[in-house]
Structures are given as C-alpha cells and as structure tokens.
Amino acid sequence: MEPEFTSGEEDSEADELIVNPEDHVDDEGFTRRDHIKICISFGGLAMLLHSFFSVVVSGSQDILGGTYIPTTSILASHVATMVIVTSFLPWYMQRIPYYWRTLIVFIAMACGTLLLITVHSVYVKIIGVSLNALAHGLGEISFLALSAFYGRFSITSFAAGSGAGILLGPIYYTGTVNSLQSIVRENNSAGLGLSHISPKWYINLF
C-alpha cells in the first residue's frame, strides 16, 4: 500500500480552525479578554461617578437639615456646575492630557466628599456638592470621549455602570442611615448616646 502525500495546505487550514475562543479577534480588533477588561474599567468608573451623585442627591435633605435653605439648592448647585462643565470644557479638553483629567476628577471628588462629611457649615457643604459635580461632569465627558478608542462595547459598559451607580447609591445611603438610626435609638434607650458608637462604624460608613 503506497503512502499518501499531502501538500500541507489541508493541515494548515485545520490548524486555523482550532482557535482559542479567548484569542478570537472581532471586527473591532478586540479579543474576549479585552472586552472583559473594557467592561470592568468603563462600567466601574461610571458606577463610581454616578453613585456619588445619587448619594449626594439622596442626602440633600440631611445636608440642609435644620436650615431654611430649600432642598432644591443642592440640585441647583449640582446641575449648574454640570452644565458649565459639560458646555465649556469640551472646547478645551484636547489641551489637557488624560492623566491630568483623571487626577482632577479624583481630587475634586475626594475634596467634595470630605467637605460633605467633616464640615458643619451648610454653605461649605454646597461647595462640596459643586466639587462632586465638577468631578462627575469632567469624568463623564472624559471617559465617554476615551470610549472612542475601545469600540462600541465600552459605551455599553459605561451606560450599564451609570445605571447601576444611580440604583446602588440611594440603596447604600438609605441602608446606612437606617442602621445608624437604629444604633442611636438603642444607645439612647440605654442612656449612652452617640459617644459609644464604635469608630469602626464611622470608617465603614464612608
């Protein structure tokens, strides 16, 4: 029986058909592993930005508690800052590298949150709300512009993360406030007050 000789083309075609699904490149040039990284990155960033916004809106009545300032002033300060940022900054964003934009977003969000937590003056708290709005607006337009380099999946992930952040923020705030109120009621019934609440609870709160 004579041996059969092949040209090798059939073997090469068979090797091409056996491809690891994770290494398969789609029409946009990304693999499945790249899509997972893009989903986590853009979805996580959007969830952080919008969860801070929804927490501030949920706590607006508590921020202005004991004052005659209307609750809508919190929304007005946030929306006004967002309108200014999203209307004027896109004209100058190309002059600012992404590194500095991300750093500004982090610093503004951190400073705004610290003002809301530590300062008792209502007007300073409103400045903290505006700083959070600055970080929210700058982060949103920066990361949405960055999604142009990562395909359609990045925009979908950012939109999903935004919805998740808006949903989870009020749930987190409501659960935290209710747990604090229950602890205060228990301490008041025992005659202890706020001074006997564990400091670890305040750390976990934020």
Q: How confident is the model at residue 169 (pLDDT cuts 50, 70, 90)?
A: confident
Per-residue pLDDT at 65 exceeds 90: no
Per-residue pLDDT at 56 exceeds 50: yes
The dihedral formed by the CA atoms of 90, 93, 94 and 100, expressed in degrees to the nearest 10: -160
Return phi, psi of residue 30, to 5°.
-120, 145
For residues 31 and 117, the answer to whether their CB atoms sit within 8 Å is no
Q: Return the structure tokens found at 92.
A: 């100058």
The dihedral formed by the CA atoms of 160, 49, 130 and 124, expressed in degrees to the nearest 10: 130
For residues 32 and 21, the answer to whether their CB atoms sit within 8 Å is yes
3-state secondary structure of 190: coil
Could you report the per-residue pLDDT of 138-168, keeping only the tens digit for each?
999 988 888 888 888 888 899 999 899 888 8
Region of 29 please: left (phi>0), alpha (psi -120 to 50) or beta: left
Percent pLDDT > 90 in the chain is 14
Per-residue pLDDT at 17 exceeds 70: no
Give me the helix-helix angle, 32-58 and 152-189, nearest 10°. Answer: 40
Residue 26: how many other CB atoms lie within 10 Å: 12
How far does the chain reach from its first CA to its final CA, in angstroms?
A: 80
Per-residue pLDDT at 197 exceeds 50: no
Could you report the per-residue pLDDT of 20-51, keeping only the tens digit for each?
555 677 666 778 888 888 889 899 989 988 88
User: What's 68's DSSP letter?
Assistant: S
| Whole-number average pLDDT of the chain | 77
